[in-house]
Amino acid sequence: MKKDVVVIGAGAAGMMCAMEAGKRGRSVLLVDHASKLAEKIRISGGGRCNFTNRHTVPENFLSQNPHFCRSALARFTPRHFIELVEKHRIRYHEKKLGQLFCDEASQQIIDMLRSECEAAGVIFQMPCEVSRIDRDSGNTGFVLETSCSKVMADALVIATGGLSIPQIGASPFGYRIAEQFGINVTALRPALVPLTFAPEQLSAFSGLTGIALDTIVSCNGAHFRENLLITHRGLSGPAILQISSYWRPGDPIHINLLPELDADDWLRDRRHSGVLLSNLLAQHLPRRFAEAWLGAMMGGLPETPVNQYGNKSLRQLAPQLHAWQVIPSGTAGYKKAEVTLGGIDTAELSSKTMESKKVPGLYFVGEVVDVTGQLGGFNFQWAWSSGYAAGQSV
Ligand code: FDA
C-alpha cells in the first residue's frame, strides 16, 4: 500500500493532523495499536473532555524552549476548535477560568474528529501494531511493517502521546522512533500528578482523606490558587496537580492555607480571646484538618485557648499558615499522571510544521513533543494546534 501520509496514533493530535492533511487532498492512513478509538479523550475531564481553554497563551506551557509553542498556537487557536465544536452542534459550557467542557460526553469530541477524518477520506487501521520503520530506498519516504500490511509513505507523523495511563494504550513508541532516527528526547517525568508522602509524614493527617481546602500552592517560582485534596497517599486536587509539573524530587512545596486572610493581623486581633486555637482556625479551615494541622505544628497544644499562647507563639504560627512547608517523597507515577513532561526536543523540530530538522518527512505532534500544558484544557489545545500545523505541511 502506498499513501502520501501515515499518522501513527489516532488520539487527539493524530486525528487533527490526519483530517487536515486529508482536507488538503493527501491520502492518509491513520494507524493505532488500540482497539478502541481515542480512549484518552473519552476519559478526559471526568468524561466531559475539557477540550480547550479560552485564555490559552504560551505561558500556559512548560518546555525547554518556552517559545516553541507560539507559532502553532497562533495558527490554530481555541476559537478555531470552538468553531468546529459548534459546527457539530456539540453543546458545551465554561466551568471556570476559561475551561470549556462538553455538556454531555467526551465521546462527542471523538465522534466529531472521526467524522471529520472520514469526510476527508482518512483510512483508519486499528488495532494495528507497527513493528518496523525504515527510510525508503530513495531516502525520501518511509516503509512501515505493520501487523496489517506493508505501507509506503512520503510523510510519517508520530502522534503516539506520552506515557501516562499505560492501561489504556500509552507506550514509549514515539520516543523509541526518535532514538532510532538520532533525534534527542528530553528527560521524561509524570506531571499533573498527585504527590505522595512517607507514612510518618502522613500519620497526623490519616483519617482526613477527602477533605478539600482552598489554597495557594507554590514551588520553584510557580503558584496556583485552587483546591487541594487530602488523599490516603498524600495530596491531590487541582492545586497539587498543577504544582507537580514544577516540582522535582527533594524540593519543598509551600501551601498557603488562608489565602483570603492576613493571618498575622487576624491572630493579633484575637490574642486575648478565650476560644481554643483549633476552634479559631476552624472558622476558616475544616475543623478536623485544623485540629490535625495544629497538632502536627504545635506538638499537641491545640486544645489551649488562644490567650494562653504567648504573642511570640502566635506570631510564629502566621507564616506557617501562609507557607506551610511540606516535602513530598514522590509522585503517584504514570498510572495516575495526566501527562508526561518532556519529550521530543523542540530544538529538533520546526515550530511552524513540527517536521524533524534532521529527518525530512518525519513529524512529531501532540504530547510526545516536549510541550506540556498546565491543567485546564491546555494539553488538548496543544494537540489540536500541533496536529493542525503538521496537517498543513505533510
Ligand atoms: P493521545 O494519548 O491522545 O493519543 C495517542 C494515541 O497513540 C493513542 O490512541 C494510543 O493508543 C496510540 N499509541 C500509543 N502507542 C502506540 C503504538 N506503539 N502504536 C500505535 N499507536 C499507539 N487534557 C486536557 O486538555 N483536558 C482534559 O480534560 C484532560 N483530561 C485528562 C484526563 C486524564 C485521566 C488523562 C490521562 C489526561 C487528560 N488530559 C487532558 C491530557 C490529554 O488527554 C493528553 O494531553 C492528550 O490526549 C494528548 O494527545 P495526543 O494525541 O498527543 O496523545
The mean pLDDT value for 59-69 works out to: 98
User: Please, what sign has the CA dihedral across residues 147, 148, 149, 153?
Assistant: negative
Q: How much distance in Å is there from the Cα of 304 to the middle of ligand 1?
A: 52
Query: Are the beta carbons of 70 and 381 closer than 8 angstroms?
Result: no
Q: Report percent pLDDT > 70 for the chain.
A: 99
Q: How much distance in Å is there from the Cα of 40 to the middle of ligand 1?
A: 5
pLDDT of residue 312: 87
Q: In the predicted model, is pLDDT for residue 300 greater than 70?
A: no
pLDDT for 321-347, tens place per residue? 999 999 999 999 999 999 999 999 999
Residue 84 CB less than 6 A away from ligand 1: no
Confidence category of residue 240, pLDDT binned at 50, 70, 90: very high
pLDDT for 337-373, tens place per residue? 999 999 999 999 999 999 999 999 999 999 999 999 9
Residue 130 CB less than 6 A away from ligand 1: yes
Number of helices and strands (H, E) in the chain?
A: 13, 21
Tell me the C-alpha distance between 374 and 119, whole Å. 32
Confidence category of residue 256, pLDDT binned at 50, 70, 90: very high
Confidence category of residue 106, pLDDT binned at 50, 70, 90: very high
Closest residue CA from atom 30 of ligand 1: 44
Residue 185 CB less than 6 A away from ligand 1: no
pLDDT of residue 5: 98
Reading the block at residue 269, the C-alpha cell is 486581633
pLDDT of residue 236: 98
Domains identified in the chain and CATH numbers: 2-190+339-391 (3.50.50.60), 195-331 (2.40.30.10)
Q: How much distance in Å is there from the Cα of 11 to the middle of ligand 1?
A: 6
pLDDT of residue 50: 98
Q: Do the interacting molecules here have an ipTM over 0.90?
A: yes
pLDDT of residue 195: 98
